[in-house]
Amino acid sequence: MRNRALIYLVVLSMCLFSFKNEGNQLSRRSFSTKLVGTPYIIVDKSDYEVQVYDDEGWYATYPAVFGNKSLGDKMMEGDRKTPEGNYKIVSKRPHAKWDKIMLLDYPTAADWQKFRERKAKGLIPAKATIGSGIAIHGTWQRDDMAVDYYQNWTNGCVSVKNEEIEELYEIIPIGTKVTIRK
């Protein structure tokens, strides 16, 4: 009897966890609630999420994917890693490949400092460059499943589904602070 109950508990747990993020639908405070005050974004690479906050607290969470599978901090141009640090959105525009794009101010002074220190320690090649062009953007047309399957495919950017970049693009102003962390 105890074994049967334990089996049911395990099966129930597996079902709950397997449907936790079914379809990677965005969740948010309320579909009728607008952002209040100044928004800011936290990109959590470990949880594959873009979290939006405003003056009242948490507003929305969107599933996201990144560059390299390692989820490590960007070291140099071409490593396909998403940088970690504090940024802000410096421009927004439609994009032919990825629907909409919100460009970040990478590299910042802090990124340059990390880059120089890593280069001095020999962690990256002497001729390496830091890179640029990091953004939050959509996916290839009709390729939202990359987000559903957590396929890290970018060159270091943060990618969300096209429907969700459309919403972010509308509600997030230029100048919004973005923290990217592991």
CB 24 within 8 A of CB 147: yes
Number of Cβ within 10 Å of residue 172's Cβ equals 20
Q: Please give the pLDDT value at position 72.
A: 94
Residues with pLDDT less than 50, the chain: 5-25
Q: Where are the domains of the chain?
A: 65-181
Q: Please give the pLDDT value at position 28.
A: 62
Residue 54: what are its φ and ψ, rounded to 5°? -140, -165
Domain 65-181: CATH superfamily is L,D-transpeptidase catalytic domain-like (2.40.440.10)
